Structure 1
Amino acid sequence: MKHLFAVELGDDGALLGPLEPWRAEEFLAHIERGREHIGRYIGLPDLVTDLESGRAFLRSYADKAAADTGRLYGIWLDGLLVGGVLFRTMDVPRGIAEAGCWLEPAAVGRGLITRAVRVIIDWAVEERGIHRVEWWAAADNTASVAVARRLGMTREGVLREHYPHRGRRLDMEIWSVLAPEWRAAR
């Protein structure tokens, strides 16, 4: 599959590119493959249950991109959509963005999320002037916490029982990296 606007994430065939509403069928198929795995800590699979809800989710991020308040990117491995990274929120005037991710099980353990988030943080800091990038992760989500550590983020604290998810309340860790720290680490 060709991508007009894509960034290679290494030499393993992984690509990062915009995840747009016209990809709703591909997006839904991806969510179906990873529904239980993805849904352990985030609500995305509970929002995307059919083609129309998938299209609506993608459209909401197209609207955020147009308003400059968020971004959504897919990760493709050998032409197959296997995950995504996003700026769930972007407040450009205040210089704050919250990054996030998800991945289906077949793509776990390859460093795809860390590589993709590096690309979007570089863009946010260098092109958009974002000063602070946040990473919120369920405290039990060891993979997400490990990504924050690999990115050189600082753990700022825990919001106890903050996120209601599938009948329980999850503790959320807040991690961040500031633009000067990001540049110094590169």
Structure 2
Amino acid sequence: MFVHPVDDELYLRMVEEKDAEELFELTDQSREYLRVWLPWIDRTKSKEDTMLFIKSSQKEFAEFTSMNLVILYKEKMVGVAGFNEMDAENKVVSIGYWLGRDFQGKGIMTRAVRSLIGYALDILQFNRIEIRVADGNTKSQAIPEKLGFKKEGTIREAEWLYDHYVDHFIYGLLADDWQSHVSM
């Protein structure tokens, strides 16, 4: 089982089948909050739907195409973060994340993403990290902005969100950028 410590309060762990109920409950408790920005919420109606996500995540991890991790804060599951896409040939990885409503404002996601950046660049030897964030999702935009990513542009109408399209901002970070950011 993959476990990645972040600090004394926080660690990331590969999502497992035993997580289905707890992860579904976290999703369900934050449903209205998450629905504003995440298009898959309405398709996650049961523990079984969450189990399908977990099995898909395990398959994609085995294929080295993605890596979904649960975020554990003080031993409680609080969200998911990881690599939505892993392109080993081009050494590019895309980070995605969400946090339960009740766990906002504690710096959890910034710490988790910072740790994922280090893992992607130092351990996996990727060269580029991307984060896509919907225009208007200021809380999610703050993460790459704090961590030294460059806002590289806008992808117009990048995602269908229930009844309308949203544009995505694309943030990029190169290994050299990170070394400069860390040494500051």
Q: Same fold (TM over 0.5)?
A: yes
Structure 2 CA distance for aligned equivalents of residues 173 and 5 of structure 1 = 30
**What's the CA shift string for 1:57-114, capped at 9, x where partnerless?**
0111111110011101111223321111111100011111110100111100111111
Question: 2:3 matched to which residue of 1?
Answer: 5
1:146 aligned partner: 142
TM-score by length of 1: 0.92
Residue 157 of structure 1 aligns to which amino acid in structure 2?
G
C-alpha separation in 2, matches of 1:60 and 1:135: 21
For structure 2, list consecutive stretches of 5 or more residues without a partner in the other structure.
none
For 2:64 and 2:133, how far apart are their aligned partners in 1?
Answer: 23
Any gaps of 5 or more consecutive residues in structure 1? Answer: none
Counterparts of 1:166 and 1:172, CA distance in 2 = 15
User: Which residue does 1:126 correspond to in 2?
Assistant: 122
Matched, 1:84 2:84: no
Tell me which amino acid in the other structure corresponds to 1:58.
I
Q: CA RMSD in A?
A: 1.6
Supply the distance in 1 between the matched residues of 2:22 and 2:84 (Cα, whole angstroms): 21
Q: How does 1:21-32 map to 2 (within 5 A)?
A: 21-32=17-28
Q: Distance in 2 between matches of 1:176 and 1:6?
A: 23
In the alignment, is residue 172 of structure 1 matched against residue 164 of structure 2? no
Number of the residue aligned with 2:67: 71
Distance 1:63 1:22 in 2: 16
Shift of 1:125: 0.8
What TM-score, normalized by structure 2, do the two folds share? 0.93
Distance in 1 (alpha carbons) for counterparts of 2:86 and 2:109: 19
Q: Kindly, what percent of the aligned residue pairs are identical?
A: 27
- Aligned-partner Cα distance in 2 for 1:4–1:179: 23
Question: Do the aligned partners of 2:92 and 2:126 also contact (CA within 8 Å) in 1?
Answer: yes
Q: Is the 8 A contact 2:2 2:14 kept in 1?
A: no
Counterpart in the other structure of 1:95: 91
Q: Residue 4 of structure 1: CA displacement?
A: 8.1
Counterpart-to-counterpart distance in 2, 1:105 and 1:157: 28
Partners of 2:3 and 2:11 within 8 A in 1: no
How many residues of Structure 1 are paired with residues of Structure 2 in the alignment?
182
- The answer (yes or no) to whether the contact 1:21–1:62 under 8 Å persists in 2 is no
Q: 1:36 Cα deviation (Å)?
A: 1.3
Letter in 1 for 2:62: A
Aligned equivalent of 2:55, options 56, 59, 64: 59
